[in-house]
Structure 1
Amino acid sequence: MEVVSSLIQATPVLRDLSPVAQAASLAVIIPVLIVILNIVAQLVLPQRTAAPPVVFHYVPIIGSAISYGMDPYKFFFDNREKYGDVFTFKLLGRNITVALGPKGSNLVFNGRLQQVSAEEAYTHLTTPVFGKEVVYDVPNAVLMEQKKLVKTGLSVDNFRVYVGQITDEVNNFNSTDPAFAPFQKNVPKATGTVDIFKAMCEITILTASRTLQGKEVRDALDKTFADLYHDLDMGFNPINFVIPNLPLPSNFRRDRAQKKMSNFYQEIIQKRRQGKTDADESEHDMIASLMQQTYKNGRPLRDVEIAHIMIALLMAGQHTSSATLSWGMLRLASRPEIIEELYAEQVKVFGDSDGTLRPLDYDTQKVSLPLMDCVVRETLRMHPPIHSIMRKVLSDIPVPPTLAAPGTVNTEKSADSTYVIPAGHYVMAAPGVSQMDTKVWRDADKFDPKRWFDKDNVANTSEDKDEDVDYGWGAIKSGGNSPYLPFGAGRHRCIGEQFAYLQLGTILSYFVRRYSWTLETTFPGPDYTSMIVLPQQPANIVLTERK
């Protein structure tokens, strides 16, 4: 108040105004002064020698939130041209240091636990949705154990069963859902328009629940479960990442839904422990696997831990798979000739002498459908589900000279580093930048699945040169240095990678076998308003049934 009074006294024009007019004038003048001071500070005040360059912004606190939120990839590419692979931008009061390129991804994904923390970055977003005692609500060592226990359930024996279950669910959906009504009348070469994103959202939750989640979950999908899922899903709102625990109606519904869904899973587990369910129908699902697992100290998982792991598997996997399937169907719609090549591949591998196709099976799919594998990989290259992956910086991180912009070597530091990312910042990786980089990929903006047959063009995506590391859930390649990282790298690499390839390949194969399709209009652009990159609406395709 003293500052405001001094400003009025120092400004003759304001002194002569009525109190109401003074207040209205100050409401305009003060924000303008703040913006001017912010601009002057960026242009005049010296920057810390070791700090990464800061993206110029007009409004303090808000910073670059608008330009970043509208189109993250344009924001990344534009600022890489100005500042190099490492730069900092302001995001609603937070300092976000971006590290681009394969070396930037490696800096973030393979940072030491003493330096970076995924838990500190994400727990306020994920714990209200997934629940306590799992994922980022536990110490990293416990999380690594939980990942190992889940990975045990993702076995080849289970995958062999899942292919038939996924096919059955997709076929049932096509045979009963109103969106596919034109194809349910036995009309030869029937044609219909389908909102493919809406369809894939439903198909992925049906197939995931039938395979990983178990019969009880699948049977409940047409009841109250769907409403609970929706309310819980609303917890993955970008505002909850930036400003957690706001007293919003959506957050109140999220909290109620989390409690009810947790109880729902725990009731399933208790009935199974009491032998009140058919063991033969559930032996291949994740609940059955987790009920048999123990931590290193011999302690079995508590029912609440299993319940919350199951919620995490359902919520995290459904979003990414439905987005990728939608993009894959849309990309194929833009290249219908590739759909016919995929169909020819199916006929070659699964065709019988009577003109029919044998059922899909896991082992044949994995080794004998190279074009389908390339389509999945190319879709993930162009449309990684998550555009930004963050860690909280716990202690200063020296940036290797090969990562920072040319000519910015800091002579006051050792020769081993240029910039230093300070503790308290958030460090951000964006693997999608490397995956669409014209310096790495030939015709990077073109959907070309056959590029994956060209070893010269994709040889640098191999992880063979990376060391094997066991973070506590099995030895994997450390990754990080590849320009193709749709599932992340390091200790937090997605353990559902192989299941995702199985689910994506099986569902796409079903559609290729039954339909050909094209875009209804133009190819949709990306929608960045949610945590997952989705196609803008409408995302319609025109399906034509094969003979």
Structure 2
Amino acid sequence: MGAIETLIEEVQTLGTQALENFLALSLIQQILLVVFFPFLYSLVWQAVYALRNDRVPMVHYWIPWVGSAVVYGMQPYEFFAQCQKKHGDCFSFLMLGKVMTVYLGPKGHEFVLNAKLSDVSAEEAYTHLTTPVFGKGVIYDCPNWKLMDQKKFAKVALTKEKFIGYVPLIRGEIMNYFKTEPQFKESKGTVNVLKTQPEITIFTASRSLLGKELRDKLNTGFADLYGDLDRGFTPINFIFPNLPLPSYKKRDYAHETIATTYLDLINKRRQQNDIQDRDLIDTLMKTSTYKDGTKMTDREIANLLIGVLMGGQHTSASTSSWFLLHLGERPDLQEELYQEIKSVLGDRKEVSYDDLQNLPLMNNTIRETLRMHMPLHSIFRRVVNPLAVPNSKQIIPVGHYVLVSPGFTMTNEAYFPNADHFEPHRWDNLAGAGGGFAGKEDNTVDYGFGKITKGVSSPYLPFGGGRHRCIGEQFAYVQLGTLLVTFVQNFKWTSKAPPIDFQSMITLPIQKDAIIHYEKREN
């Protein structure tokens, strides 16, 4: 013990001397030293890191702690392409104090999305970002096995039988929107799709999934609340989940207001013992019992409903905005879609679920839009067990993050020739589109919410993969397909597709330029 005590005393003495020497400096010298030291430490740390052959190459940066956050946040795909050119498919970068290891391409999809639950955690990566938006006890604010059960509960509303009934409800909401909203009342007009599409998304999803009683409570302001929740998904929210800023206050107010709306309806049905099989709300109230025998609380049910609709908000609002903007540049495709719809529907105006399955160009338009504009440009996992990079000596340490970007792969010339060109006909032959189509694989696995495709090595993964693959893919095609058919039946339009706004973690068009100019069809 004497040696240890002596060592402690020596360290304390050195610390005291260093502090005295620092205080003896002038104020300007003290400031320069405080500012200079982090930069020096950062450069030394990067030099030492670069000498290790058991680490993934690190992208060089100059600003301590900030790292490559700015360039990644502004143009992630361009950043990935530059890093790939220098370091290959696998590299690391610093983002606001967190080390992110990127693995690009299909091999990266397999490495991250099919990683073992014991090695990586989506919950630890996302809970501080998603819990303020969705609420406690659901999605990533619970153990993974509970999330798998929650997906199973929600999937009851996502069957073919349900979809058959949803299509006329969705179409009715869209037609009502065209008739009642001022921006669509004239024979010609201009609309911003980042206003119309989130509203249509909420109205159609709530009417089909959550029922008429809940839909009747909603107005356009409700869509704005979901927009405030959407704005809770930004890089700054990822690093700082709670700050005294207006956007955070709007996020929290939106969550509480939406959750209270759902809770009021749940409480009403419980008090009146009025629990049937009308909608997903009834289903969750009746069947949401976990495998360990515990039940979801009503507040957790309300929170899960927020998550279910948010999934559609991200996918359908973003995707429908983009396909309207791209089709506005392609009157030839609009006419081809119109003729395809007429050939299937004949003199009918109403569209059915079976009709949607017989419209290949319509479905390929959605597929192509998702290829060019996957709603999430980056998918994260936190490393919880040292993770070996395949076919190398490199190890990703505990506490680092792994990042995969199917959106980058889907817009890469190596997999999709002429990748920047919007061309739905590239999907006419699915087997030849981008070297493979994940949805055609037969190898499946059940993580607890039904069988899904196990393979994630396809370059085309707009709905993610593995145990966290989106369960709403088929609903998205039903919702988006009904919307696209209804839009083409009623309008011709022109537009210019704007650049992507990467300020949030959702790949939306730049707000001010998301404009279409429409003209109603004569019929």
Instruction: Report the TM-score when normalising by structure 1.
Output: 0.86
Q: Does 1:426 align with 2:422?
A: no
Map 1:54-69 to 2 at 5 A.
Answer: 54-69=58-73
SS of corresponding position for 2:436: helix
The match for 2:374 among 352, 376, 384 is 384
Q: Does 1:86 align with 2:61?
A: no
Paired with 2:440 and 2:253, the residues of 1 have a C-alpha distance of 46
Q: Could you tell me how far 1:175 is from its partner in structure 2?
A: 1.0
The match for 2:355 among 356, 360, 364 is 364
Q: Structure 2 vs 1, CA of residues 8 and 444 (structure 1 numbering), >3 Å: closer, same or farther? A: same
The match for 2:505 among 531, 534, 538 is 531
Corresponding residue for residue 75 of structure 1: 79
Q: Does 1:508 align with 2:503?
A: no
Instruction: Report the TM-score when normalising by structure 2.
Output: 0.90
Q: Structure 2 vs 1, CA of residues 264 and 457 (structure 1 numbering), >3 Å: closer, same or farther? A: closer
Corresponding residue for residue 414 of structure 1: none
Contact 2:389 2:396 in 1 (8 A): yes
Q: Could you tell me how far 1:466 is from its partner in structure 2?
A: 6.1
Paired with 1:221 and 1:463, the residues of 2 have a C-alpha distance of 35
Paired with 1:89 and 1:335, the residues of 2 have a C-alpha distance of 39
Paired with 1:278 and 1:490, the residues of 2 have a C-alpha distance of 34
Q: Could you tell me how far 1:5 is from its partner in structure 2?
A: 6.8
Deviates more, 1:357-366 or 1:492-501: 357-366
Paired with 1:314 and 1:72, the residues of 2 have a C-alpha distance of 27
Deviates more, 1:376-385 or 1:218-227: 218-227
Residue 262 of structure 1 aligns with an amino acid whose one-letter code is: A
Number of aligned residue pairs: give it: 504
Corresponding residue for residue 419 of structure 2: 444
Q: Could you tell me how far 1:319 is from its partner in structure 2?
A: 2.4
Contact 2:438 2:461 in 1 (8 A): no
Paired with 2:49 and 2:151, the residues of 1 have a C-alpha distance of 47
Q: Does 1:469 align with 2:445?
A: yes
Contiguous gaps of at least 5 residues in structure 2: 1-15
Map 1:65-214 to 2 at 5 A.
Answer: 65-182=69-186, 190-214=187-211
Q: Could you tell me how far 1:72 is from its partner in structure 2?
A: 0.4
Paired with 2:370 and 2:89, the residues of 1 have a C-alpha distance of 22
Q: Could you tell me how far 1:202 is from its partner in structure 2?
A: 1.1
Residue 428 of structure 2 aligns with an amino acid whose one-letter code is: F
Paired with 1:383 and 1:346, the residues of 2 have a C-alpha distance of 25
Q: Does 1:290 align with 2:284?
A: yes
Q: Structure 2 vs 1, CA of residues 89 and 535 (structure 1 numbering), >3 Å: closer, same or farther? A: same
Contact 2:435 2:459 in 1 (8 A): no
Paired with 2:228 and 2:464, the residues of 1 have a C-alpha distance of 28
Residue 511 of structure 1 aligns with an amino acid whose one-letter code is: F
Corresponding residue for residue 8 of structure 2: none
Q: Could you tell me how far 1:285 is from its partner in structure 2?
A: 2.1
Q: Could you tell me how far 1:465 is from its partner in structure 2?
A: 4.7
Q: Does 1:491 align with 2:467?
A: yes
Corresponding residue for residue 335 of structure 1: 330
- The percentage of aligned residue pairs carrying the same residue is 47
Q: Structure 2 vs 1, CA of residues 234 and 465 (structure 1 numbering), >3 Å: closer, same or farther? A: closer
The match for 2:260 among 258, 263, 270 is 263
Paired with 1:223 and 1:486, the residues of 2 have a C-alpha distance of 28
Residue 503 of structure 2 aligns with an amino acid whose one-letter code is: T
Q: Could you tell me how far 1:527 is from its partner in structure 2?
A: 0.2
Paired with 1:224 and 1:181, the residues of 2 have a C-alpha distance of 20
Contact 1:463 1:482 in 2 (8 A): no
Q: Could you tell me how far 1:162 is from its partner in structure 2?
A: 1.1
Q: Could you tell me how far 1:35 is from its partner in structure 2?
A: 3.1
Corresponding residue for residue 302 of structure 2: 307
Residue 438 of structure 1 aligns with an amino acid whose one-letter code is: E
Residue deviations 1:153-175, cap 9 Å, x none? 21222211111111111111111
Paired with 1:227 and 1:468, the residues of 2 have a C-alpha distance of 38
Contact 2:50 2:57 in 1 (8 A): no
Contact 1:97 1:426 in 2 (8 A): yes
Contact 2:170 2:204 in 1 (8 A): yes
Q: Does 1:238 align with 2:232?
A: no
Q: Please, what is the CA RMSD of the aligned residues?
A: 2.4
Contact 1:463 1:479 in 2 (8 A): no
Contiguous gaps of at least 5 residues in structure 1: 10-14, 183-189, 402-416
